[in-house]
Amino acid sequence: MALATSPPEAAEAARPDRYSSDAAGLGRLRAGVFVAPALLLVAVFLVFPALWVLYLGLTNYRLTGAAAAAPQFVGPANLIEAVSNPEFWSSTWLTVEFVAGSAVIGQVGLGFTIAWLLRDRRGPLKRLVEGLVILAWILPSAIVSFLWVALLDRDAGTLNALLGIQGFAWLLDHPMLSIIVFNIWRGTAFSMMLYGAALGNVPPSHLESARLAGASGWQQLRDVVFPHIRGHILTNLLLISLWTFNDFTPFLLTAGGPDGKSEVLAVHVYKVALQSGELGHGAAVSTIILLINLVVAVFYLRLLRSKK
């Protein structure tokens, strides 16, 4: 016959589990106390503004007039008006060109090329190149924008003087090309630094083995380097794509002109919301931009988490 466990013995046996449960609860409480300030900041500065913009997009809120004092709920009317506007789709396509040309192709390609060429170099040439590239990144956007406006000026611009041509209006005749080149020049430093750090983690022995096996330079990049820095490439693509998508700097160069030929979505929102005074309409366009950013972020994160 089995002996029954006495109450004191049962309590003694249950004591470690109770202590473990208490310790786990205390750990969760301590973690919550440490994380709470960060969560509060996220809620105040990210979640609440996003929800507020979403709400404004459903109203007829305007900058002036009766709708400024007492906006009325209009439902999805602003969203329907936004997607029915041909200027919205024109701005969307220009934004895709801007992101693909300056971020995905330009900054990623040029940043990696510079980091690859400088990976084993030392001395003043490396410091000079890094200094020139980083200089564009540390200067305020307004200052470098004004410098480029002066550089590309039709009559007194330095670029026309260097090329020996006169009267060529870069910002008027080729506004998208101008802002794409400008964004490549300004944003390449981030990609260069990120890839420079990533290339330092590629084992030299792997490259040496590939070289001894007769792999060409491209095969070494494809089979050894890119697999090692795949996470860095996708992270960089995610960050610079979102930054460029929301970039307002083109307004400082061309103000969206001429005739809307460089009016990317960020500039389109500014014109709709502040120049036209239709804050509700502008908030609706901002909501669409937020959704596009979420789709892009989810796409990159799924690629980042995939094994291949």
Global confidence as pTM:
0.81
| Closest alpha carbon to 197 in 233, 221, 223, 242 | 233
- Please answer whether residues 281 and 63 qualify as being in contact, where contact means their C-beta atoms are separated by less than 8 angstroms: no
Please determine, for residue 3, whether its predicted confidence score (pLDDT) is greater than 50: no
Alpha helical stretches, state H, 43-118: 48-56, 66-69, 77-83, 86-98, 108-117
> 4-36, pLDDT tens digit by residue?
455 555 555 555 566 667 777 788 888 888 888
Q: What is the mean pLDDT of the chain?
A: 86
The helix (run of H) or strand (run of E) holding residue 13 is: helix 7-42
| Closest alpha carbon to 272 in 89, 67, 94, 62 | 62
The maximal CA–CA distance of the chain, rounded, in angstroms, is 108
> 223-271, pLDDT tens digit by residue?
889 999 988 999 999 999 999 998 898 898 898 888 889 999 999 999 9
> 79-129, pLDDT tens digit by residue?
999 999 999 999 999 999 999 999 988 999 999 999 988 887 777 777 788
pLDDT number for residue 244: 92
Both tokens of 52, joined, read 């507020």
3-state secondary structure of 105: helix
From the centroid of its chain, how far is CA 8? Answer: 62
